[in-house]
Structure 1
Amino acid sequence: MEATLEYLAVGLLIIVLVTVSYHMVEAATSTLATTYEEQLYTIAERTMDKIVLTPGYPEDWGTNINVTPDTLQDFGLSLYGTRTPYTVDPDKVMRLANLSTLPNPLLLNTTRLAQLLNLQGYGFRLRIRPMLVVNITVLDYTPINNLKFASKFRVTVSNYYGLGIPNVNVTGMYVILRVQPGTGNQGDLELKTIFTKSNLTDPLGQCILNYTPDLQAYSAGAKLDKWFFAFLIVRAEWQGLVSIAGYATTAQGGVPAQGYIIGNYVFVDKGLNITTVLKKGQNSGAVLVKDELLQAVPEYQELLNFTTVTWCRDATGAFRSNDPLCNNAGKVLPSAQKWYLIGYINYVEPLSSHIFVFAQFRGNPVAIVISRLPNIDIAYGGTGAVPANSVSLRRMCTLYNYPYIVELTIWRRVEGFP
């Protein structure tokens, strides 16, 4: 009997010891996991503050083409010299953009970015998107001078999370420039025509802007010996939030209708031919669209500023290095001489949201749209799923006067994916 009681006592003691040990290990593991999460959160906060509150070094690295990813010493997107926090420099954001049809000649890739942020042991995803995301879909075309110009559009306005927003005030300005061809790729601006349409988005965040009747009436009097450059600017406003989008209406048929502007330099596809449009005797190679566009109706026409573009290509199509600014670009970016058509603008309006460049593609006039407000979605350490043990931070910032969300997600690479 006594032996049985002793065995029972020993058994109970073992059970108690095992239970206590289990809870001690569980508590230690929980404490360690909490510590890991807090450390990761601290790293994410510190990195986010560095991105949106510091300008990097050199401070003008967004516009200075002499600062390449290899020579950039410190990373930060803040607009240098501003006294307003969370003001992001759009020229620095442009260095992170990479169009699928035209690689960025000065792209700051994620590997170099991880080095500058000291995040080689971590994975991260950086997204910079407007609070109002505007997407333009072409529904119909209207022929003008044997070319098809987009004339009917579906405009979708969604929030940062991709949900459509109803009752957004959408205004579109359709611009057509009629040019009298001259010698070579040069012509005289004869007429600037602007059609405006406004609409409200439906419960799905969509609305239609239909310029077909206007373009049909316009094309009835169009002459075959003219050039026509056309583009669309859309402004969306909802409860004080504003977003701008641009579209080149002759972008169908494989036309390379995108490009970059870094500092005063313009980079477009090498397959384009330069076009000079004379306006009141002055050479113009592009139109700058100021951000106040459509806010000053009916004065909006004055917010389209014609500007001169000096191209780094001679009459034979070779890179022209006898100009100091062209020579500088050729030295900094020698490969760009072969892969890009490079030009520079003497003065870029600081508040220009878009630039439309005049060009010819396979003998046809085309407007090349360059947005100075790019959307960024880049990742390092994996582009698929994000590990469960990760930290995401969001900050509301401004690019020019437009509200943007900067989102940073960080995880430890050694923890892998779920």
Structure 2
Amino acid sequence: MVRMYAALEYVAISLVAVVLVLSTLSSMHALVQGVKLVESEQLYTVAERVLNKVLLTPGRPINWGTDLTVTEDNMTDFGLALAGSQEPYVLDPDKLMRLVNYSWFGNPAFLDPRHVASLLKLEGYGFALEFAPLFTLRATPLAVDPDTGVAVQFRVTAINYEDMPLANVNVTGLLLVLYSEGGCGLSTSAEVGYALLRDSEVTGIDGSCTLDYSSEFGALKPSLPSGGDKVTYVLILYGEWYGYRTASHYAPDQGALDVYLIGPYVIADYAVDAPPYGAVLLKDEALEALPDYSKLVEVQKVVIECVGDEPGDWTPACRVLNRGAKLYQLYRLEHVERLASHAILVGCRLGRLFAYVASKYPIEPVRYG
């Protein structure tokens, strides 16, 4: 009988021990979950503070987007808001462009994320900022003039940030036809003229519409020089959807140059892996596209200067881009309107006329951090 009582005693003690262990584990689990909850709430607070700072303040200096002399060494505050804007959450596209560093284009104006983390007091945290437009426009040529190579009909598709088609987008397309009567010389850039053809449509339920310039181009064609090497084109696109706007472009061939527009500066990078190889000879004038959503898109000429050279000193070292020692060339446009969406540089390569489109807005989502 004593042994039975002893056995029952051990069983009771074991049950108590199991209950204590389970209770301890439950308490530890509750404690860990509580700590995780506190940490997540703290991170949420930090993230909210950082987002408000980034989206609502311009940084210091306030013009660091267009002033390329501002670097990690002399920037004292970080923010992406457009200085002087009366509305909240209006970002400065030039500041966004300084965060772009695509694998196929090394941005010399790029800011080191480690220094930005320090300015935002995020040392010890992992952080990443991602920016994507609400919607974008993509163009595909449907019909091409066989004599000049100019596309005269395009299918334009509006895509939202989830990569889904978007209906009821008002699309305005500016077909910029560039031509040179004398063609491209071996040592001098071409004298270039241009014509503007416009069309506007609304995207359907599939998110697409067709822009047709056939009739206008047919009337223009007799005045163009013969030969596809003397004519090129660019399609500049603007979209409006319930007050939200976007800009895009299509160019048939960038001719071995990748170009960006940051403030008044154009950064041109020669793509060394783009055969056939051949130097690009740029003209000393560019065109800038100015969207006016209440009227028609306008284009005006601007003078190009080499940064570091005397104004007007359009030397071969400045206007020629090739596979030389320079990784990129920096140009300054004489005057760039604040609302300008694109700058179009014109040049010759391998005896053929090319147009190089520099967008003021990132052409792909920006991931920074």
Q: Is the 8 A contact 1:101 1:256 kept in 2?
A: no
Select the structure that is richer in strand: 1
| Secondary structure, aligned partner of 1:154 | strand
Q: Does 1:317 align with 2:325?
A: no
Q: Does 1:163 align with 2:151?
A: no
Q: Does 1:362 align with 2:350?
A: yes
Q: Does 1:266 align with 2:289?
A: no
Q: Distance in 2 between matches of 1:60 and 1:206?
A: 38
Q: Distance in 1 between matches of 2:121 and 2:142?
A: 47
Which consecutive segments of 4 or more residues in structure 1 shift more than 6 A?
Answer: none
Aligned residue type for 2:266: V
Residue 316 of structure 1, CA deviation: 5.7
Q: 1:206 to 1:125 in 2, by over 3 A?
A: farther
Q: Is the 8 A contact 1:257 1:367 kept in 2?
A: no
Q: Please list, as runs of the form range in 1=range in 2, the aligned pairs for 1:32-47 lying within 5 A after superposition.
A: 32-47=35-50
Percent sequence identity over aligned pairs = 33
Q: 1:319 to 1:166 in 2, by over 3 A?
A: closer
Q: Distance in 1 between matches of 2:217 and 2:102?
A: 30
Which piece of structure 1 moves more, 303-312 or 108-117? 108-117
Aligned residue type for 2:82: L
Q: Distance in 2 between matches of 1:102 and 1:272?
A: 18
Aligned residue type for 2:316: G
Q: Is the 8 A contact 1:272 1:341 kept in 2?
A: no
Q: 1:32 to 1:133 in 2, by over 3 A?
A: same
2:299 to 278, 301, 304: 304
Residues 11-51 of structure 1: per-residue CA shift (max 9 Å, x gap): 33223212221211111011011012112212211221221
Residue 63 of structure 1, CA deviation: 0.8
Q: Distance in 1 between matches of 2:192 and 2:106?
A: 33
Residue 269 of structure 1, CA deviation: 3.4
Aligned residue type for 1:343: Y
Q: Distance in 1 between matches of 2:86 and 2:170?
A: 31
Residue 272 of structure 1, CA deviation: 2.5
Residue in structure 2 matched with residue 177 of structure 1 by the alignment = 178
Q: Distance in 2 between matches of 1:151 and 1:69?
A: 46
Residue 378 of structure 1, CA deviation: 1.9
1:234 to 229, 232, 237: 237
Please, what is the CA RMSD of the aligned residues?
3.0
Q: Is the 8 A contact 2:157 2:208 kept in 1?
A: yes
Residue 275 of structure 1, CA deviation: 1.4
Aligned residue type for 1:307: V
| Secondary structure, aligned partner of 1:134 | strand
Residue 126 of structure 1, CA deviation: 1.7
Q: Does 1:132 align with 2:140?
A: no
Residue 185 of structure 1, CA deviation: 1.8
| Secondary structure, aligned partner of 1:156 | strand
Aligned residue type for 1:110: P
| Secondary structure, aligned partner of 1:172 | strand
Q: Is the 8 A contact 2:139 2:155 kept in 1?
A: yes
Q: 1:230 to 1:100 in 2, by over 3 A?
A: farther
Q: 1:68 to 1:129 in 2, by over 3 A?
A: same
Q: 1:155 to 1:4 in 2, by over 3 A?
A: same
Q: Distance in 1 between matches of 2:361 and 2:158?
A: 16
Aligned residue type for 1:260: Y
Residue 304 of structure 1, CA deviation: 1.6
Q: Please list, as runs of the form range in 1=range in 2, the aligned pairs for 1:82-97 lying within 5 A after superposition.
A: 82-97=85-100
Residue 162 of structure 1, CA deviation: 1.7
Residue 92 of structure 1, CA deviation: 0.7
Q: Does 1:69 align with 2:49?
A: no
| Secondary structure, aligned partner of 1:72 | coil
Residues 225-271 of structure 1: per-residue CA shift (max 9 Å, x gap): 894342112222223322221222x31xx613541223322222354
Residue in structure 1 matched with residue 12 of structure 2 by the alignment = 9
Q: Is the 8 A contact 1:185 1:275 kept in 2?
A: yes
Residue 188 of structure 1, CA deviation: 5.8
Residue in structure 2 matched with residue 108 of structure 1 by the alignment = 111
Q: Is the 8 A contact 2:172 2:198 kept in 1?
A: no
Q: 1:103 to 1:352 in 2, by over 3 A?
A: same
Q: Distance in 2 between matches of 1:356 and 1:186?
A: 15
| Secondary structure, aligned partner of 1:37 | helix
Residues 191-245 of structure 1: per-residue CA shift (max 9 Å, x gap): 6241425242333x23333445654664455323894342112222223322221
- TM-score, length of structure 1 as denominator length: 0.73
Residues 289-310 of structure 1: per-residue CA shift (max 9 Å, x gap): 12315x31xxx26x22222222
| Gaps in structure 1 of 5+ consecutive residues | 277-284, 321-335, 381-418
| Gaps in structure 2 of 5+ consecutive residues | 271-278
Q: 1:105 to 1:272 in 2, by over 3 A?
A: farther
The structure, 1 or 2, with the larger RCO (C-alpha pairs under 8 Å, 6+ apart) is: 1
Q: Distance in 2 between matches of 1:118 and 1:144?
A: 60
Residue in structure 2 matched with residue 206 of structure 1 by the alignment = 208
Residue 114 of structure 1, CA deviation: 3.2
Q: 1:379 to 1:94 in 2, by over 3 A?
A: closer
Residues 80-114 of structure 1: per-residue CA shift (max 9 Å, x gap): 23332212111111101234444212112434433
Q: Distance in 1 between matches of 2:192 and 2:27?
A: 84
Q: 1:291 to 1:188 in 2, by over 3 A?
A: closer
| Secondary structure, aligned partner of 1:87 | coil
Q: Is the 8 A contact 2:134 2:161 kept in 1?
A: yes
1:187 to 187, 191, 200: 191
Q: 1:342 to 1:272 in 2, by over 3 A?
A: farther
Aligned residue type for 2:161: Y
Residue in structure 1 matched with residue 62 of structure 2 by the alignment = 59
Aligned residue type for 2:366: D
Q: Is the 8 A contact 1:69 1:106 kept in 2?
A: no
Q: Please list, as runs of the form range in 1=range in 2, the aligned pairs for 1:210-221 lying within 5 A after superposition.
A: 210-211=212-213, 215=217, 218-219=220-221
| Secondary structure, aligned partner of 1:49 | helix
Q: Is the 8 A contact 1:125 1:377 kept in 2?
A: no
Q: Is the 8 A contact 1:274 1:360 kept in 2?
A: yes
